[in-house]
Amino acid sequence: MRANIVVLPGDGIGPEVTRAAVAVLDAAARGNGGYHFTFSEHLIGGAAIDACGEPLPAATLAACKGADAVLLGAVGGPKWSDPNAAVRPEQGLLGLRAALGVYANLRPLRVHPRLAELSPLKTERLDNVDLLFVRELTGGAYFGAKTRTDLAATDECRYTVAEIERVSRRAFAFARLRRRQVTHVDKANVLETSRLWRSTVDRVAREFPDVKLEHQLVDSMAMLLLSRPSAYDVIVTENLFGDILTDEAAALAGSLGVLPSASLGDGKAGLYEPIHGSAPDIAGKGLANPLGAILSAALLLRHSLDMEHVAQDIEAAVDAVIEAGALTSDLGGTASTDQVTAAVLDRLGTGQTRVAA
């Protein structure tokens, strides 16, 4: 099987972690006869602004639209963060998500026992934590009309029934493959969009009578995620709430650096990126944790290329590397990005111990 994978390293630690993920994908293809991956790198974010003045150049978008899957590092950083800037790196990422129609952002989270001790929570609270966030990715306040004058600003939050239906159907469908429980998170006591979400999710739930649905307000959910995280299975929510809750939940897993994501639309192609950002504070130092990007590569194999067995091999290799204590400094270790990547490649049995430059 041939697959055309577009790689968008982006900014900050983006290039460091995508290099690790590409090395793992390359090893996975070579270690499993019959697969041939073509990687092509393109500009996005601040790097693209510097090179050609726009965060999502036409050539990048065209390549992504023609790809079987897109692997992205991160965009943004202090260089491009002036609140009055006319153009921002993040616009490139949002434009790409919208143009690819990847409305369902999956953010799975499990807690490795070895990392549980790093959590500020009591370790027994972390037993059996196995969450799947399904974050709506192409609507809400991120994409509504924006206004700004010297004295006021607005971000419109708009959702259509169709947008809510398609993402919640995905959440229920994934719940069927898991523990058959969906928690929908909103702010229905205040927001009209949330009330539309609530009634639409209730209606979609009738198509899945074997799946249990509960609604939870986002403010109390922020607390419940930390006090009884093992009580939840699939958590579906709108764009902004999903962004915030998943970074919060990363504290359960030990570091923002280990969480992957898959962004899916109606077709097979998808956009894969770790949930963390460009981490300007550690960029260029070899300190970035590559596991979020490597696990995103595993999701790419699972969801876009139907290579479930190889995805599981990669996830098992990552677990083994954590177990063996090859950890970057965000997880209390001393290993570099390349050392962790080499350890994963070793566990995959490729015999390759150095990351190709």
Residues taking part in catalysis: 142, 187, 219, 243, 247
| 90 is a site residue for ligand IPM (CB under 6 A) | yes
Q: Does 346 bind Mn ion (CB under 5 A)?
A: no
Q: Which partner from the list ligand IPM, ligand NAD, Mn ion, none does 27 bind, CB cut-off 5 to 8 Å by kind?
A: none
Instruction: Give every CB contact of residue 289 below 8 A, 6+ residues apart in sequence.
Output: 17, 255, 257, 258, 328, 330, 331, 337, 340
Q: Which is nearer to Mn ion, 238 or 243 (CB)?
A: 243
Please name the residues in contact with 278: beta carbons below 8 A apart, sequence gap of 6 or more.
Answer: 10, 11, 12, 13, 14, 45, 46, 73, 74, 75, 76, 77
Picked from ligand NAD, ligand IPM, Mn ion, none, the partner binding residue 313 (CB below 5 to 8 A depending on kind) is none
- Range in contact with ligand NAD (rule: CB under 6 A) among 103-111, 124-132, 221-229, 281-289: 281-289
Q: DSSP for 183-207?
A: EEEE-TTT-HHHHHHHHHHHHHHTT
Nearer to Mn ion, 137 or 307 (CB): 137
Do β-strands 234-237 and 36-41 pair in parallel, antiparallel, or remain unpaired? unpaired
Least distance from Mn ion to the Cβ atom of residue 186, Å:
19
Give dist(CA 212, CA 204) in Å, integer.
12
Residue with smaller CB distance to ligand IPM, 107 or 347: 107
Torsion angle defined by CA atoms of residues 333, 335, 338 and 343, in that order, rounded to the nearest 10 degrees? -80
Chain position carrying tokens 């206004």: 147
Q: Does 256 bind ligand NAD (CB under 6 A)?
A: yes
322 makes contact with ligand IPM (CB under 6 A): no
Q: Does 21 bind ligand IPM (CB under 6 A)?
A: no
Phi-psi region of 208 (alpha: psi -120 to 50; beta: other; left: phi over 0): beta
Site residues for Mn ion, window 216-245 (CB under 5 A)? 243
DSSP letter assigned to residue 244: H
| Tokens standing for residue 204 | 């979609």
Q: Answer for the pair 135, 239: CB distance below 8 angstroms, yes or no.
A: yes
Q: How far is the CB of 179 from ligand NAD (least distance, A)?
A: 28
> Could you tell me the smallest distance in angstroms from the CB atom of residue 215 to ligand IPM?
23
**Given the rule CB under 6 A, which residues bind ligand NAD?**
13, 17, 74-77, 81, 90, 93, 256-257, 273, 276-282, 288-289, 292, 328, 330
Which residues contact ligand IPM (rule: CB under 6 A)? 76, 90, 93-94, 243, 275, 277
